[in-house]
Chains A and B, each alone.
Chain A
Amino acid sequence: MKWFRSLFESRKRSSSDSLSIIKSKFGNFISILDSNNKALKIMSDMEEKSQGDYLFDINYIRTSLADIRAAVQKMIDNMIALGGDNYLPLRERYRKIDTQLSLILPGGRNIPEDEFTIPFSRLNYEKAFSVGSKTANLGELTSRLKMPVPDGFAITGWAYKHFIDHNKLQDKISNEINALNIKSYSDLQKVSDRIQDLIMGCEVPGDLQDSIVRSYEELHVSNDGIGCCLRSSALGEDTQFSFAGQYKTILNIKDESLIPSYKEVVAGKFNAQAIYYLLSHSLSESELAMGVGCMKMVNSAKSGVIYTRNPVNSEDNSLLINSILGLGRFLVDGIVTPDIFHVDRDNLTIKHKDISHKPAKLIALPGGGTAEKAVPSQEQEKPSLTDNEVAKLAEIALKIEEHYGHPQDIEWAIDDSGEIYLLQSRPLHVAKKPKPKKEIDLSAYEAVSEGGVPISPGIGAGPAFNITSPDDLDSVPDGSVLVTPHSFPGIVAVMDRLNALVTRVGGIASHMATIAREFRVPTICAPANMCSLHNGKEITVDASSGIIYDGIQPELIEALAPEDDSVQDTDIYEMINKLLPHITPLNLVHPRESEFLAEKCETLHDITRFCHQRSMEEMFYGATEVKDRDSLCVELKTDIPLKVNLLYIDREPPRTDRKGCITVENIESVPLTTFWSGIAHEGWPVPPGPSDARGFAGVLATSMTRGGEGEFAENSFALISKEYMILSLRMGYHFTTIEAMITPIANNNYIRMQFKEGGAAIDRRVRRIRLITEILTKFGFENNSRQDFLDTSLTHQDESTTRKALYSLGRLTVLTKQLDMALSSDAITTWYIKDLSQKLGIAEQKADDDG
């Protein structure tokens, strides 16, 4: 194939200017077809991998994504070269889709050049690559949703890069991290300390300092009141990876402490648990710049976290509001157990309240900094929110969820005057409620403790191991149940050693809880009788019910372990299934519909479909600069109701009739004449009836979703020369591309057929591909198909064999047209293979064996 193309493309002289223009377009056109096939093949491969039968790693996803991106970008470039600036909107569509993909799987992108600081009012979600998701979301809430967010500004990833480059830090940091043993917490801590010291000892470049100070002054922080807070907003944080609580927030800072605090937040990127999290998720440190958000402090009377769904039970229709007195840090750090208000999502009524004991609160001091303060005894047991406040918060939260289309984890605060402020909103990971494998009589087992709050569902057992500080982390044994008074930094670094986790205080909304759910460690907090869980005591923790049983109980674990512990709910599968909706669904189908526009491309598949269609049209109709286009482009006149436009790429076309048509006999292209004879042998078929209702319903559904009418009226296109053809044949619901070269030299000969899609459901489409490839294999074709993407080729055969194969391919193309509808089972498919093999007069051994 390459041989022919290079020969064709290298010809310097042409018989006419028009032919020369056509030839230059041909290069772009062929490149689009190549990229299209490449992209479709990877899409099919990813779809196949997403269905639960494969083991793959993050590199597979990264490589597949990189290859699809490259193919689609190339298609767009070729499309613009082929059709001009009309196709520029494709770039914008691609950028938007690419943004969505990168928000799910960060990395693989450079830190974008931007201003050093940007106010919230000029930010939105699309700016996540520049400022990090956390700050971009605050911008989205401010600028698009008009929600109450305190004033603030982002210090961008570009600013971070400037700081790192200015101080030549990257190599030093990379060397430290590359030499690290991530299993040893003390090693992690030492490396972390060294990197953080390095950063704190560096200067913030003058231009960056000026920009930060200027933006700060625009916030008009009063001299006597409370100041600002600086929050980490790492690029890549809160995407597929939560990084919950890994990074630093500094509360209530003012004037002169602003720049040192910025450095402190940047240095916080390298705390021990964050380094562990980064490395354990195969994330590249250098790509994850530390953006920082600077926001006016809210003098919080109360604050908390809203989960718009119950994160440990996806079937619960509740919205959960966690609330404590004072600033929210005591909640997210797991120091105070919050009140929890369970709100009905349908009518916003409170279903029930868990009011906790709240002995202390954190407050902001007027001169800067924070302090712990005792809560007056009469307020300690009172609900921290009024019913009215609960309803208002719930209403706001559901609006935000609706805007993002996904459950949210929202931090909020209410100040002394009763004003509500939103401090953060990010996607919430909701764990599926595990279904026990079988019923079991729990009364037969002795419970050590009951009434614990489920934080991360599941069941795990092992010897209890108590720790009280990060110094004990290195000694945590594999397979233990970690028992700790509260969460503290570093627990993330031992998560993969734990069979279960039990904490005295904390709650469902703490950062540790988010991490536990992400690592799927069964976790409960606040169980009764915790003091009895001494080191070495063997226990079984049923974290779905909040009960701890005495001893290791294998039958209980067997019975209560989730029924289908398949790979589908693992992080890696979750990731591919989040990416695919931006890649594979096809929304643009009918070229004649008004919605068939570059601006309407929602997925990468839409872009490839759009480019594929328009490239053919540009080749045939859009060549406005070809003055005598009609002299090169003709229509094929046959008995078959299929309109085929022919474009001659090596010479002037044969003489046409008055309507610009030629007959098959006059084509003068060996491959097309051969292929067409095969089609004509069979005649144009009536689609076979589906063999069951599902097949018919599938086709009906496809017709309805894709517009149905006009499906068969679209043109087919062929670029031909005496020995070559590339034919895009409209076959009902999809284009089949057949490329062929027939010469007297065997080494130059080839046939290649490719297509994706079809009218029926995926299983039937895959069966049709099995059918076609099994039959073609008998003609010597090699099969490179994936899922419902057909890719088969025959190469290096002599002229006669290649002609025979292409003729049979023509027949088979007709015989299998819309046959996918009828292939309701493997047995029916096998029957068709046998039947069609007989019709085509090829050996029966394989079909007989299958039968």
Chain B
Amino acid sequence: MKQSILAIDDELHMLKLLERIISEKTDYPITTINNSLEVPDFLKENKVDLIITDLKMPGMDGLDILKYIKENDRSEEVVIMTAFGSLDTALDALSQGVFDYITKPFKKEQIIMTVDRAMRWQKVKVESERMSAIFDTEPYSAAIEAFKKEYVNRLKVRYSSESEMISKSGLTGEDLKYED
């Protein structure tokens, strides 16, 4: 599934700039919310990979949003945008599990690099969870089956045409029956 972003700031100017830069420089779809109180409802209906939020906002502030994510055991990573004067709070947020913080004003490249890092980290996390699940499988035969299934599904993603996949993988037609 395509990775996506939610940006939250009570200031529309900032949201517009973020939306513009991220749409221009990346392929990730971005949703923007300027009333932080709407965030829980949005997250009940949607799942995103990265939340970029302002620190100081009326309603829920950046730390409240972080808390909501952690308490609900959600997988979204959170990046907090903060003014220079709020650096202490930002550092505090790091200890509470925020992925990163970024001090306003910031360069376009800075946010793009942070987004890129967060998205790669999310991919690694998902990958690691799937691999752990395979290793935790018992008995051994079931683990082998799970591994084969994972392997085949990945090949399908990697190669667009089936014939190419078969010729390169050395698998038999029987192996290819795995579907998600």
* A-B contacts besides A55-B105, A55-B107, A181-B37, 8 pairs, CB < 8 Å: A55-B17, A55-B108, A60-B83, A182-B35, A565-B24, A567-B108, A572-B13, A572-B14
Cβ 8 A contact of A58, one of B13, B37, B108: B13
Complex: A57 Cα to B12 Cα, angstroms? 9
CB distance from A826 to the nearest CB of B (A): 17
Write the A569-584 contact mask toward B (1 if CB under 8 angstroms, else 0): 0111000000000000
| Complex contact B35–A183 (CB within 8 A) | yes
Q: Is there contact, CB below 8 Å, between A183 and B14?
A: no
- Residues from chain B with a CB closer than 8 A to the CB of A570 are 13, 16-17, 20
Question: Judging by beta carbons under 8 Å apart, are B12 and A280 in contact?
Answer: yes
Chain B 1-28 interface mask (CB, 8 Å, partner A; 1/0): 0000000011111101110110010000
Q: B111 in the interface, Cβ–Cβ < 8 Å?
A: yes
Tell me, yes or no, whether B34 is within 8 Å of chain A by CB: yes
Report Cα–Cα, A54/B106, bound state, in Å.
Answer: 5
Q: Is B40 an interface residue (CB 8 A)?
A: no
Q: Say whether A280 contacts B34, CB under 8 Å.
A: yes
* Nearest opposing residue in chain A for B10, CB measure: A282
Q: Name which residue of chain A comes closest to B14, CB basis.
A: A57
Q: Known contacts A53-B107, A58-B11; is A572 also within 8 Å of B17 by CB? A: yes
- Please give me the residue from chain B that is nearest to A496 by CB atom: B12
| Max count, chain B CB within 10 A of own CB: residue among A55, A60, A565 | A55
Known: A565-B20, A570-B20, A572-B17. A178 touches B58 (CB 8 A): yes
Report A31-80 residues with CB < 8 Å from chain B CB. 49, 53-60, 63
* In the complex, chain B residues whose CB is within 8 Å of the CB of A572: 13-14, 16-17
Interface mask (B28-55 → A, CB under 8 Å = 1, otherwise 0): 0000001101100000000000000000
**Are A55's CB and B104's CB within 8 A?**
yes
A59 to B55, CA, bound (A): 13
Residues of chain A within 8 A (CB-CB) of B83 are 59-60, 63
Q: A181-B35, A183-B38 are in contact. Are A54 and B107 (CB under 8 A)?
A: yes
Encoded as 1 (CB less than 8 Å from any B CB) or 0, chain A from 277 to 319 comes to 0001110000000000000000000000000000000000000
Interface size in chain A (residues, C-beta < 8 A): 23
Residue of B nearest to A182 (CB): B35
Set of chain B residues within 8 Å of A280, measured between Cβ atoms: 12, 34
Complex contact A49–B105 (CB within 8 A): yes
9 residue pairs, one from A and one from B, having the closest CB atoms = A56-B105, A572-B13, A57-B14, A54-B105, A55-B17, A183-B35, A280-B12, A282-B11, A57-B11
Q: Of all chain A residues, which has the CB nearest B56?
A: A59
Chain B residue contacts of A54, Cβ below 8 A = 105-108
Give the docked Cα–Cα distance between A684 and B34 (Å).
Answer: 60
Chain A residues lying within 8 Å of B16, measured Cβ to Cβ, are 570-572
**Bound Cα distance from A182 to B34, whole angstroms:** 9
B64-79 near A? 1/0 per residue, CB < 8 Å? 0000000000000000
Contacts of A60 in B (CB 8 A): 83, 104-105
Can you list 15 A-B contacts (CB < 8 A)?
A54-B107, A55-B21, A55-B107, A55-B108, A56-B105, A57-B11, A59-B11, A178-B58, A182-B35, A183-B34, A183-B35, A281-B12, A282-B11, A567-B108, A570-B13
**A55, A63, A281: the one within 8 Å of B106 (CB):** A55
Interface residues of B (CB under 8 A from A): 9-14, 16-18, 20-21, 24, 34-35, 37-38, 58, 83, 104-109, 111
Residue on B nearest A56 in the bound complex, by CB: B105
Residue among B17, B21, B106, B108 with max Cβ neighbours from chain A (10 Å): B17
Q: CA A572 – CA B37 in complex, angstroms? A: 25
Interface on chain B toward A: helix, strand, loop, or mixed SS? helix
Residue from B13, B14, B109 with most neighbouring chain A CB atoms (10 Å) = B13
Given the interface contacts A54-B106, A54-B108, A55-B106, does A567 sit within 8 Å of B17 by beta carbon? yes
B residues near A567, Cβ cutoff 8 Å = 17, 20-21, 108
Task: Judge whether B111 and A55 touch: CB under 8 Å.
Answer: yes
Residue of B nearest to A279 (CB): B10
Q: How far is the CA of A427 from the CA of B38 in the complex (A)?
A: 36
Chain A nearest CB, measured from B12 CB (Å): 5
Nearest A residue (CB) for B111: A55
- Proximity string of chain A (545-575) to chain B, C-beta cutoff 8 Å, 1 when within and 0 when not: 0000000000000000000010100111000
For B58, the closest partner residue in chain A by CB is A178
Contact pattern, A 162-191, Cβ under 8 Å of B = 1, otherwise 0: 000000000000000010011100000000
A795 to chain B, nearest CB (A): 22
| Given A181-B35, A567-B21, A572-B17, A53 and B108 contact (CB-CB distance below 8 Å) | yes
Cross-interface CB contact of B13 among A53, A57, A63, A183, cutoff 8 Å? A57
Q: Assess whether B104 is in contact with A57, with CB atoms less than 8 Å apart.
A: yes
Residues of B within 8 A of A565 (CB): 20, 24
If A54-B105, A57-B104, A183-B35 touch, whether A282 touches B20 (CB-CB below 8 Å) is no
Q: How close is A433's CB to chain B, nearest CB, in angstroms? A: 19
Provide the bound-state CA to CA distance between A183 and B12, in Å. Answer: 12
Closest CB of chain B to A792's CB: distance in Å? 20
**Residues 60-119 of A contacting B (Cβ, < 8 Å):** 60, 63
Q: Give the docked Cα–Cα distance between A570 and B14 (Å).
A: 10
Query: Hey, which chain B residues are within 8 Å of A57, CB to CB?
Result: 9, 11, 13-14, 104-105
Which among B35, B37, B38, B109 has the highest number of chain A CB atoms within 10 Å? B35
Which residues from A are CB-within-8-Å of B24?
Answer: 565
**Complex contacts, A63 vs chain B, CB 8 Å:** 83
- Least CB distance from A578 to B in Å reads 14
Q: Which of A57, A59, A282, A570 has the most CB of B within 10 A?
A: A57
Q: Contacts of B106 on A, CB cut-off 8 Å?
A: 54-56
Give the complex CA separation of A59 and B105 in angstroms.
Answer: 10
Task: Say how far A850's CB is from chain B's closest CB, in angstroms.
Answer: 20
A60→B17 CA distance, assembly (Å)? 14
Which B residues lie within 8 Å of A282 (CB)?
10-13
Q: How far is the CB of B18 from the nearest CB of chain A, in Å? A: 7
Encode A141-179 as 1/0 by CB contact (under 8 A) with B.
Answer: 000000000000000000000000000000000000010
| A49 CA to B108 CA, complexed, in Å | 11
Which residues of chain B come closer than 8 Å to A56, judged between CB atoms?
Answer: 14, 104-106
| A55 to B7 Cα, complex, angstroms | 14
Residues of A within 8 A of B13 (CB): 57-58, 281-282, 570-572
When chains A and B are docked, how far (Å) is the Cα of A235 from the Cα of B151?
67
A520 to chain B: closest residue by CB: B16
Q: Chain A's nearest CB lies how many Å from the CB of B55?
A: 11
Closest CB of chain A to B87's CB: distance in Å?
14
- For residue A274, give the distance in angstroms from its CB to the closest CB of chain B: 16
C-alpha gap A567/B13 in the complex (Å):
11
Rounded to whole Å, the gap between the CB of B41 and the closest CB of chain A is: 11
Residues of A within 8 A of B38 (CB): 181, 183
Q: Which residues of A contact B35 (CB under 8 A)?
A: 181-183
**Nearest neighbor of B105 in chain A, beta-carbon distance:** A56
A401 to B53, CA, bound (A): 43
Residues A55 and B18 in contact, CB atoms below 8 Å apart:
yes
Q: A178-B58, A182-B35, A567-B21 are in contact. Are A55 and B12 (CB under 8 A)?
A: no
Contacts of B21 in A (CB 8 A): 55, 567
How distant is the Cα of A280 from the Cα of B33 in the complex, in angstroms? Answer: 12
Q: Which residues of A contact B17 (CB under 8 A)?
A: 55, 567, 570, 572
Q: State how many angstroms separate the Cβ of B122 from the closest Cβ of chain A.
A: 22
A170 to B6, CA, bound (A): 35
> Complex Cα distance A297/B83, Å?
50
Most buried by A among B11, B21, B111: B11
Contact with B along A641-658 (1 / 0, CB 8 A): 000000000000000000
Instruction: Give the chain A neighbours of B20 by CB distance below 8 A.
Output: 565, 567, 570
Shortest C-beta distance, B2 to chain A (Å), equals 16
Inter-chain CA distance A280–B108, complex, in Å, is: 23
Taking the closest CB of chain A, its distance from the CB of B40, in whole angstroms, is 13
Nearest to A571 among chain B residues (CB) is: B13
**What chain B residues lie within 8 Å of A281 (beta carbons)?**
12-13
Complex-state Cα separation, A112 to B24, whole angstroms = 44
Give the distance to chain A from B20, nearest Cβ to Cβ, in Å. 6
Chain A neighbourhood of B11, CB < 8 A: 57-59, 282
